Structure 1
Amino acid sequence: MVEDYLTDRDQEEALRTWWRDNWSWILGGIVLGLVLLGGWQYWKIHTANQAAGAAKLYDEFVGALDRKDEEAAKRTLGTLVADHKKSPYTQQSRLLLAKKEVEDGKYEEALPLLRAVADESPDAELAWVARLRVARLLNQQGKYDETLKLLDPEKAGAFTAQVREIRGDAQVAKGNLEGARAEYAAALTDNIDARADRAIDRTLLEMKLQDVGGDKKAETSETKPAAAEGQP
């Protein structure tokens, strides 16, 4: 190699020249590495602190609900929303407060909480749980067209059977028995392959289908809901 033919003095001079030409790149790489490492460590600490803060607020929220201090619970929820909008603790708090409002018959107060979870939760499954609860409340309020507009079976995934059932309930209330039969029959078919934790009450659904003139034995994989009045 070339180095074998250089004197010690020549090699030292070559090293100094190489360092003079490259020191800025080497130093820049070291600094960049330290910055990235420091940024990653900061992000991990920040994320952990955020999670701990959200958990503490959630405990305060649950404690307020347990004491039946709804005003304190709402204040704490407001802080959660302001500081930890996307946190699972925020979404769970909304669901708990919505449940309390429903139990008290305050449907109009519960709806915005549930809609917020449906619209903002990063967890798609939790968002669908909230959306189904919104739809059931809308049915209770007689807002059947809103229910049909809200629930799109084509986008419901594992929740398709529940969506079909709720839409069927809305069609019954609207007096559209043909539409209800189609929805209930489709719900029974969709539920065949649904996971156990998504299962609906099959016996109750069969009774609903029979009540609107359907035949549970006639359901097939080709069952499709007919175009229904008020259906978007």
Structure 2
Amino acid sequence: MATQLDLQEQEQLDALKSFWKKQGNLITWTLVLVLGGFAAWNGWNFWQRDQGVKAGAMFEELDRAAAAGDAEKTARVFADMRQRFPKAPITQQGGLTAAKVQVDKGQSDAAKASLTWVAENGVEDEMRTIARLRLAAVLADAKQFDEGLKVLDAATAPEFTALVADRRGDLFMAQGKKAEARTAWQAAYAAMDPKLDYRRLVEAKLGSIGAAPGAAPAAAASAASGASK
């Protein structure tokens, strides 16, 4: 009996050796790839967290400089963030913050550069659109209206459709293009949530050019009432 069991074990061992000889390399490399991928995934997550913490610390420094009105330091910190953490969302927020300080200090060219970087390198469409809205305003102040309109053409985040149309209307009006401004403001008014207070401002803009929402129907009703008397 013992001899029979020994023979069976030997046959099983020989079969295992044969299988491993044929499939051993494939199994080994599969394990290496799986374990390597798992290690790489953990490493990537750790690196991402580490980068986020470091970028966050730099943003706090930038924010303090911005609160103090120190445009030069704000710009330096943003330039460092831009170089070290270009894909971190907080770096794009740093660009918007830096641009605000630069505008406040009358550094329009620096503000344009900061906002252009965010508009071109922002990770999310929403952040790129916000940068373009602000850049269009800076260009409008510099009377670069056509450039501002081109910037708005690329502002495509759906959440900001109304604000983009409103800003476009402002640029058209500054150029004296009343019909185009009316069309843009009407689009902004239609797209904006009625609960937003800002919608009243758009309505006032339309009213200033005789195109207040509901004005035409009200006038027609008044004329009809007068004719019936």
TM-score above 0.5, yes or no: yes
Structure 2 unaligned residues grouped into runs of 5+: 218-229
Residue 71 of structure 1: CA displacement?
Answer: 3.1
In 1, Cα distance between the equivalents of 2:58 and 2:81?
7
Aligned position for 1:228 = none
Give TM-score, length-normalised by structure 2: 0.81
Tell me what 1:226 maps to.
Answer: none
Q: Aligned residue for 1:202?
A: 199
Q: Report deviation, 1:8.
A: 3.4
Offset from partner CA, 1:51-98 (integer Å, 9 cap, x none):
121112212222333444433332222211111011122111111111
Q: Which amino acid aligns with 1:201?
A: Y
Distance 1:148 1:76, change over 3 A: closer
Call closer, same or farther: CA 1:27–1:60 in 2, change over 3 Å. same
Alpha-carbon contact 1:189-1:219 (below 8 Å) kept: no
**Structure 1 residues 186-225: aligned runs within 5 Å:** 186-192=187-193, 199=196, 201-217=198-214
Identity among equivalent positions (%) equals 31
Relative distance call for 1:166 and 1:11 in structure 2 (3 A) is closer
In the TM superposition, what are the counterparts of 1:129-148 in structure 2 within 5 Å? 129-148=130-149
Look up the match of 2:124.
123
Q: TM-score, normalised by structure 1?
A: 0.80
4+ long deviations beyond 6 Å = none
Aligned amino acid, residue 8 of structure 1: E
Q: Distance in 2 between matches of 1:31 and 1:141?
A: 60
- Tell me how many residue pairs correspond in the alignment: 212
Aligned partners of 1:218, 1:154: CA distance in 2, in Å? 31
Compared with structure 1, are the counterparts of its residues 108 and 219 closer, same or farther at alpha carbon in structure 2 (3 Å cutoff)?
Answer: farther
When Rg is computed on C-alpha atoms for both structures, the one with the higher figure is 2
Rate the CA distance shift 1:219–1:44 in 2: closer, same or farther, 3 A.
farther
Q: What is the letter of the counterpart of residue 202 of structure 2?
A: L
Query: Match of 1:101, as an amino acid?
Result: Q
Alignment of 1:108-119 (within 5 A): 108-119=109-120
Match for residue 222 of structure 2?
Answer: none
Q: Are the structure 2 counterparts of residues 15 and 71 from structure 1 closer, same or farther at C-alpha, using a change threshold of 3 Å?
A: same
Higher helix share goes to which structure?
Answer: 2
**What per-residue deviation string (whole Å, max 9, x for no partner) do you get for residues 82-125 of structure 1?**
11011122111111111111112222221111111111111111
SS in 1 for 2:214: helix
SS of residue matched to 2:87? coil
CA contact (8 A) 2:166 2:202 kept: yes
Q: Which residue of 1 aligns with 2:49?
A: 48
Q: Is the 8 A contact 1:86 1:122 kept in 2?
A: yes
| Cα distance between partner residues in 2 of 1:142 and 1:80 | 31
Conservation of the 8 A alpha-carbon contact between 1:153 and 1:163: no
Q: Match of 1:7, SS?
A: helix
**Aligned residue identity for 2:54:** G
1:215 is displaced (CA, Å) by 3.5
User: What is the aligned-residue RMSD (CA, Å)?
Assistant: 2.6
What SS is found at the alignment partner of 2:62?
helix
